[in-house]
Amino acid sequence: MPMPTIKDITSHLETIAPLSYQEGYDNAGLITGDAGWELSNILCCLDATEAVIDHAIQQGCNLVVAHHPIVFKGLKRINGINYVERTIIKAIKNDIAIYAIHTNLDNVLYRGVNSKIAEKLGLLHTRILSPKPETNSLEIGSGLIGELPVAMDEVAFLKKLKETMLAGCVRHTRLLGRPIKTVALCGGAGSFLLPVAIARRADVYITGDFKYHEFFDADGHLVIADIGHFESEQFTIDLLHEIISEKFTTFAPLKTSVNTNPVHYL
């Protein structure tokens, strides 16, 4: 049986997370390469960095499926002056296609980024935290909210969160002396959804990239738990691998062993 083309792979991914669901600032889709190329193999990753492209070359993969687009802004010249340009040059020189599935995968409930986090935490009755009204569907939008099977003490929950999400630390607001039952979350940078989490009476809101002054906005309504951007989305690599493996059985897609987290903890 012949190997699928890159288009076969990306078309399947887009049945789950159509490109039309991405935010206006985003750059999801095929960034380098030709959709008509026959696939050699796939490397799944969070960030398509230069080191990940090196890994793809070593493993004989000509498609890198990444969550974050390596190119967000227009490039006026490509001369290798920064990591973005070096990555693009290396991918093109080695005939490697880079495909990004970013906010479109964030914005779906079924097999989305946030559903994977909820699965890790064992949440039940999950639904979109902030549905997009223009889609006329409660299964498209930002963030996710669900319930723990059994309410937990705040400290016990935060310890479980840190362990489950392999977080270097959990930055959180003051504890409120109330059990945690209803959990809101958003992979990546999700501070913009804090008012929605409060309005929907979540006990805790899990995300990354909260700024100092934004922690004040919890204002005693809930506990903010910032686990870090990479930490909140790292299991998207597993999600992509699962989605591809279940559909295509003639090859074994790979998950990168490169840790692309730019944040380190002492």
* One-letter amino acid for residue 189 of the chain: A
81 and 120 inside one domain: no
Q: What sign has the CA pseudo-torsion 231, 182, 173, 157? A: negative
235 touches 120 (CB < 8 A): yes
134 and 167 inside one domain: yes
153 touches 179 (CB < 8 A): yes
Residue in the block written with tokens 């390596």: 70
Is residue 243 situated within a structural domain?
no
Q: How far is CA 177 from CA 146, 174, 187, 224, 235, in A?
A: 20, 9, 26, 14, 30
Could you give the CA distance from residue 158 to residue 180 in angstroms, rounded to a whole number?
10
70 and 116 inside one domain: no
Q: Total domain count for the chain? A: 2
147 and 69 inside one domain: no
**3-class secondary structure, 256:** coil
pLDDT given at position 133: 86
Last residue of a domain, one of 78, 105, 132: 105
For residue 112, the tally of other CB atoms under 10 A from its CB is 26
Last residue of a domain, one of 51, 70, 105: 105
CATH number for the domain spanning 111: value is 3.40.1390.30
Note down pLDDT in tens along the chain; length 266 residues: 688 999 999 999 999 999 999 999 999 999 999 999 999 999 999 999 999 999 999 999 999 999 999 999 889 999 999 999 999 999 999 999 999 999 999 999 999 999 999 999 999 999 999 999 877 778 999 999 999 999 999 999 999 999 999 999 999 999 999 999 999 999 999 999 999 999 999 999 999 999 999 999 999 999 999 999 999 999 999 999 999 999 999 999 999 999 999 999 99
Residues in the chain, overall count:
266
112 and 195 inside one domain: yes
16 and 77 inside one domain: yes
Classify residue 164 by burial, with Cβ atoms within 10 Å: 0-12, 13-18, 19+.
middle
Last residue of a domain, one of 90, 105, 120: 105
116 and 91 inside one domain: no
Among 62, 57, 72, 10, which Cα is nearest to 38's? Answer: 62
Q: What is the DSSP code string of 116-152? A: HHHHHHT-EEEEEEEE-GGGT-TTBEEEEEEEEEEEE
Is residue 27 situated within a structural domain?
yes
73 and 152 inside one domain: no
Among 109, 76, 91, 82, which Cα is nearest to 30's? Answer: 91
pLDDT given at position 131: 96
Is residue 76 situated within a structural domain?
yes
56 and 43 inside one domain: yes
143 and 97 inside one domain: no
94 and 157 inside one domain: no
Is residue 71 situated within a structural domain?
yes
Q: What is the extent of the structural domain holding 48?
A: 6-105
Query: No. of H helices and E strands in the chain?
Result: 10, 11
Could you give the CA distance from residue 146 to residue 7 in angstroms, rounded to a whole number?
35
* One-letter amino acid for residue 107 of the chain: N
116 and 136 inside one domain: yes
11 touches 77 (CB < 8 A): no
Could you give the CA distance from residue 192 to residue 169 in angstroms, rounded to a whole number?
21
